[in-house]
Chains A and B, each alone.
Chain A
């Protein structure tokens, strides 16, 4: 997939950054820390490439493993108790499971981007409902909208998100 001579770190980064970010968030349970880990891993990865290392078709797996290991190290460093039931599945490195994880993270990354792409007010209403757990009426009251409008906005948001992953 990656022609060594054509390996472009910028394209590679943009292609996998979101998925890796979500992968790290799964393991660490914290988006900010996950972001730091992913950036650190990419910085090391780039250093390796600049140092003459030629990424092959396994580059994707390689960077996932880097992120995985650094997440685990970071958790140990922070003395977080790792809940194996929650993350055990996400740090599984068998080939089949790895492919599933990557696909899942790719899907989640697309969802994230789809939320990003929602019109601002629709995104706000959607997050107030799904993330903050407010009822349609509470949202309507806070924003001075009718419940009907809130319903419509959320319905549209769900529709847009379903289209993303073909559901």
Chain B
């Protein structure tokens, strides 16, 4: 009984220490729980929406990066084509140079590389697109002079 009295006093003291007016209204708490659940559901919905948009964004990012890569690749390819010709050699030794908007100076550098000759163009602003098929450097000079209406001299 003494022990029980002691417990009672302790328990009462504990309750009194933490007591707050209206803190334990179960009806208000139940309403709060319901609204919290609604909120958490809408949060869930928001989470799904966020997840969905994240997926969408990721998808777009991937698509975008693929596109960027392609773009970069295309650029690179075009750079390569601009920097040096894509060259293929046929069975009879005829070389085929592939160009795409490549400045004439670069084309002439290629000729120097493949034929060991230094060529100078009268107009260096022109660009070359297409294929040049030639077994000798003279053929290349002819094609370029004719198609670009320029003069090329050999040093």
- Give bound CA distance, A13 to B30, whole Å: 7
The reply to whether the CB of B5 lies closer than 8 angstroms to some CB of chain A is yes
Report whether A43 and B36 are in contact in the complex, using a CB–CB cutoff of 8 Å. yes
Would you give the 0/1 interface string for A91-130, flagging 1 where the beta carbon is closer than 8 Å to chain B? 0000000000000100111011101100000000001001
B20's nearest neighbour on chain A, judged by CB, is: A31
Given A13-B30, A43-B33, A161-B12, residue A113 in contact with residue B17 (CB < 8 A) = no
The reply to whether the CB of A136 lies closer than 8 angstroms to some CB of chain B is no
Instruction: Specify which chain A residues have a CB less than 8 angstroms from the CB of B22 in the assembled complex.
Output: 116
Report whether A39 and B36 are in contact in the complex, using a CB–CB cutoff of 8 Å. yes
Instruction: Specify which chain A residues have a CB less than 8 angstroms from the CB of B20 in the assembled complex.
Output: 31
Count residues of A near B (Cβ-Cβ below 8 Å): 32
Report whether A39 and B29 are in contact in the complex, using a CB–CB cutoff of 8 Å. yes
Report whether B40 and A43 are in contact in the complex, using a CB–CB cutoff of 8 Å. yes
- Give bound CA distance, A26 to B16, whole Å: 13
Q: Among A42, A104, A162, point to the contact of B33 (Cβ < 8 A).
A: A42
- Give bound CA distance, A26 to B15, whole Å: 10
Instruction: Specify which chain B residues have a CB less than 8 angstroms from the CB of A42 in the assembled complex.
Output: 33
9-residue interface stretch from A16-24, A63-71, A142-150: A16-24
- Give bound CA distance, A42 to B16, whole Å: 25
Interface members, chain A 1-42 (any B CB < 8 Å): 10, 13-14, 17-18, 21-22, 25-26, 31, 35, 39, 42
Report whether B14 and A26 are in contact in the complex, using a CB–CB cutoff of 8 Å. yes
Instruction: Identify 13 new A-B residue pairs, CB closer than 8 A, beyond the known A47-B37, A108-B14.
Output: A17-B26, A17-B29, A39-B32, A43-B33, A43-B37, A112-B24, A115-B19, A116-B24, A131-B16, A131-B19, A161-B12, A167-B4, A167-B8
A-to-B contact residues, CB < 8 Å: 10, 13-14, 17-18, 21-22, 25-26, 31, 35, 39, 42-43, 46-47, 104, 107-109, 111-113, 115-116, 127, 130-131, 161-162, 165, 167
